[in-house]
Structure 1
């Protein structure tokens, strides 16, 4: 089995509403690049990467010069062919590598007639638990805005009723920390017995991070995620706050993981199959975390069904996955895979059992959302459509006034 072609298609898949975050917003859609790797036996493996456009398509087309004739079974060689660590200062291809690794694992699984989880040691759970991902948001066509504590609680209540979530994560950094603390307290009061998380994307000052962390010590917290910038900042918060600290921003490779082991700032590492360069690096990282008693969770980077499948196969095989995974998935209105969106049941999503990743492209959906991308294009992730001219600072000194709106 040898690679003969690599194709990339950028799509824009609608969200229920624009979602706000500390750096800007998701402008009512996710822009993703769908990758198809074809082999000489007629199989097609699927991958996915965030962002897109002609530059992404050209990057993947360029990978064919490196990978034409490559055997998808040779996954270690794949890494060194296109993302040699010694060249990373000049040519960081980690996310390209991840999408291609997804596709190669999909190909190997299809070729052997087994799910990807069997290539990773076999599943130890049939489904993966997920947290609700709560956002302050603008009004959508069918959903109201979320700005006040009551609106946030109603969002969480609706998601819990629809999908069965018992863990709730608030994406913060949009409003002043004291106001978001009021919102967090409202969630704790509304859902006794459920667990909570808060993630302001590292835009709080040290004083704000300490004040927020101390204020939530009595709640049923999973963790406080990236309250301040940098591993050293997390370490200083961790020394003073009795809440586990988590990160998805400053431990995204093995060198950073080693630094966190030697001088711990984060208690929990959120593994992202894209940021780490594939599923297999995440499995390796999880083993290191298990050795040094670091917690492990699965991070969400705005995935569609292909990358979600990689998260599910990862979650299926990790013995030390003791936290519910993150996913933006329930904010999407559709997907590009056959059958549409994968379903939640009791706060969990079943691990696909078909060969490879266990998901296949719906060609009509793919073309529909490729056309939507051609119509709308991309958007600046680091800008907020409700605050023209605004840009994020760290620490974020230009929070919006919750009483005045955007």
Structure 2
């Protein structure tokens, strides 16, 4: 079997409410580029990456000359065709390759009748645990949800998610409000669920000094780790040395050069692996094996995925022996998905690893068309802008933090 064609579709899928983060906001929807690799037998494999529009679609389609006639099982050759490290310096194809490789694993698995994890060494677990990824949210009049900014509101939101999905780990996305506000909310969450584990992630916007001070202040809580409290490998090294909570990152160790420096100099404790940021599912697995060799834990990172990438995350989690933490996912914030049968369910805080061939999920062409039309109507959005603060932009580390009293954003109305 060889690759005969590529199709690409940008979709936007609504969120329950807009999500606030340190650099701006997700404006009430996730925009994703869906890649369909078509074999010469007419069978399709599916991949996904973040963002979309004409530029992303053109970038994917420009790779067809590299791919036409390629055997989707020749995955190492595929990596060198698209992601040659000297060429990637100039063309930054990491996430393009990730979506194409994802689709090739899906297509090859379907052709062979085996799940994708069988092509990655085989599963050692049949489910992956997830954290209740908690955001401060703007209100959404259409759903009646959102508006959480206070400790009481975040605890109520976390309680509802715990009751609905069974989460036993709670991650707060901080950095949007002042450090003091984040600490107050985080302590309230930890005290509300004393048997559960907690994580605080301000996405790198605090100074080293603030991060050390806060790490010491929250060290008595049942922390998994302290995720990206400041920016840069040197900043993370100083935070690791200055406070007792293990550190984690998905921002400053996202390739093998950075991983080598991290391991040589003990810069960060836990690395969150992303099946797109690292350039593909196989690259994330490889990084996980390197971490295992050095007796380091891996975790699975979320980048605003729909069901295709979520399936890739489940296959990654299935094969990692050193997956010692619950995975992240934005998935419970989505109102729908493009999969046949709708969203994958959580059971006791976990999602089952798909057992069908390839990625083990089926794309609904009707849903694909529906949310492609929704993208055409709503368009994209700028991740690092906050519509409720039109003149603001993030200046690290002395950014002007948002006012908790503001609960709505103009675009969401």
Shorter-chain TM-score tier: over 0.9
Match of residue 106 from structure 2: 106
For residues 92-103 of structure 1, what are the structure 2 equivalents within 5 Å? 92-103=92-103
**Kept in 1: contact 2:250–2:271 (CA 8 A):** yes
**Alignment partners' CA distance in 2, 1:82 and 1:299:** 23
**2:184 alignment partner in structure 1:** 182
The correspondence for 1:281, drawn from 277, 280, 283, is: 283
Give, in angstroms, the shift of residue 28 of structure 1.
Answer: 0.2
Cα offset, 1:93, TM superposition: 0.0
Cα 1:276–1:390 change in 2 (3 A) is: same
Secondary structure at 1:36 match in 2: strand
Hey, what's the Cα distance between the residues in 1 that align with 2:371 and 2:78?
30
Q: Distance in 2 between matches of 1:396 and 1:245?
A: 22
- Following the alignment from structure 2 to structure 1, what is the Cα–Cα distance between the partners of residues 311 and 367? 17
> Whole-Å Cα distance in 2 between the matches of residues 132 and 41 of structure 1?
41
> Is the contact between residue 216 and residue 244 of structure 2 (CA under 8 Å) also seen in structure 1?
yes
Q: Report 1:264-303 matches (<5 A).
A: 264-303=266-305
Matches within 5 A, 1:75-224: 75-140=75-140, 141-224=143-226
User: 2:249 — aligned with what?
Assistant: 247
1:307 & 1:376 partners in 2: Cα distance?
22
2:383 and 2:344 mapped to 1: Cα distance?
Answer: 26
**1:401 to 2:403 alignment:** yes
Structure 1 residues without counterparts, runs of 5 or longer: none
Picking from 290, 307, 310, the partner of 2:309 is 307
- Deviation per residue, 1:27-68 (Å, 9 max, x gap): 000000000000101110000010000111111111101111
CA distance in 2, matches of 1:134, 1:216: 18
1:404–1:384 Cα change, 3 Å: closer
> Post-superposition shift, 1:188?
1.0
Asked if the contact 2:148–2:407 (Cα under 8 Å) also holds between the matched residues in 1, the reply is no
Cross-structure match for 2:348? 346
**CA separation of 1:99 and 1:288: change in aligned 2, threshold 3 A:** same
Work out the CA distance in 1 between the residues paired with 2:388 and 2:137.
10
SS of 2:90 mapped into structure 1: coil
Alpha carbons 2:269, 2:297 under 8 Å: kept = yes
CA distance in structure 1 between the partners assigned to 2:405 and 2:11 by the alignment: 36
Q: After TM superposition, where is structure 1 displaced by more than 4 Å over at least 4 residues in a row?
A: 403-406
Alpha-carbon shift at residue 402 of structure 1 (Å): 2.3
What TM-score does the superposition give when structure 1 sets the normalisation length?
0.99
The equivalent of 2:29 in structure 1 is 29
Determine helix, strand or coil for the equivalent of 2:183: helix
Question: Aligned with 2:91: secondary structure?
Answer: coil
Q: Is 2:375 the partner of 1:380?
A: no
Coordinate RMSD, CA, aligned = 0.9
Residue 391 of structure 1 corresponds to which residue in structure 2? 393
The alpha carbon displacement at 1:405 in A equals: 5.6
Q: Secondary structure at the match of 1:71?
A: coil
Q: Using the TM superposition, give the Cα deviation of residue 403 of structure 1 relative to its aligned residue in structure 2, in angstroms.
A: 4.4
Distance 2:119 2:189 in 1: 40
Structure 1 residues 84, 157: CA separation in 2 closer, same or farther (over 3 Å shift)?
Answer: same
* Deviation of the 1:298 alpha carbon: 0.2
| Aligned-partner SS, 1:100 | helix
**How far apart are the structure 2 equivalents of 1:17 and 1:402?**
16
1:5-30 CA distances to partner (integer Å, 9 max, x unpaired)?
Answer: 01100000000000000000000000
Separation of aligned partners in 1, 2:68 and 2:232: 40
**Matched residues in 2 for 1:404 and 1:34: separation?**
35
**Residue segments in structure 2 that go unaligned for 5+ positions in a row:** 409-413
Paired with 1:294 and 1:216, the residues of 2 have a C-alpha distance of 23
Query: How is 1:27-66 mapped onto 2 (pairs within 5 angstroms)?
Result: 27-66=27-66
Query: 2: distance between equivalents of 1:363 and 1:45?
Result: 13
Structure 2: distance between partners of 1:360 and 1:382? 32
